[in-house]
Amino acid sequence: MFNTRLKIILLAITVCSMLVIIRTSKKSKMEIKDATNWFFASLALVFSAIFPEIFLYFSRLVGIELPSNAVFSLLLFLLFCLVYYLNIRISQLSIRLRETIQELSLLEKKIRDLSI
């Protein structure tokens, strides 16, 4: 089903993305916590390029007729989770930012009161 040429192309692409992700994460000084997530994600891609049969197995397991549909729904679900996780992080950041600004402004008021 998966011919050798396709396998090689897939492998080349996924390994390249993994290398780019490692390099870019380092260069952009991404937090290790986030960078490791993306490393594991790219590792999973390489793995799926080496053993595409897991998608056949997975689609048979959940009863999806076309393996490509299994791939799409799996990835869509993972992306959905990722976006949700990112939104939680943004929310937490915006709370911290708000509290920092509030604290800063309260301190500024204290300093102003002292200098009068």
Q: Is 101 in the site for other proteins (CB under 8 A)?
A: yes
Number of residues that bind other proteins (CB under 8 A): 8
Q: Is 104 in the site for other proteins (CB under 8 A)?
A: yes
Residue 86, CA distances (Å) to 6, 34, 41, 75, 91 in order:
33, 10, 15, 16, 9
Q: How far is the CB of 104 from other proteins (least distance, A)?
A: 7
4 burial class (0-12, 13-18, 19+ CB within 10 angstroms)? Answer: exposed
Stated as kind and residue range, the H or E segment containing 79 is helix 67-115
Which residue, 12 or 97, has its beta carbon nearer to other proteins? 97
Which residue, 68 or 100, has its beta carbon nearer to other proteins? 100
Q: Is 98 in the site for other proteins (CB under 8 A)?
A: yes
| DSSP-assigned letters across all residues of 51-65 | -THHHHHHHHHHT-S
- The mark string for 44-83 relative to other proteins (x by CB under 8 A, - otherwise) is ----------------------------------------
Binding site for other proteins (CB under 8 A): 98, 101-102, 104-106, 108-109
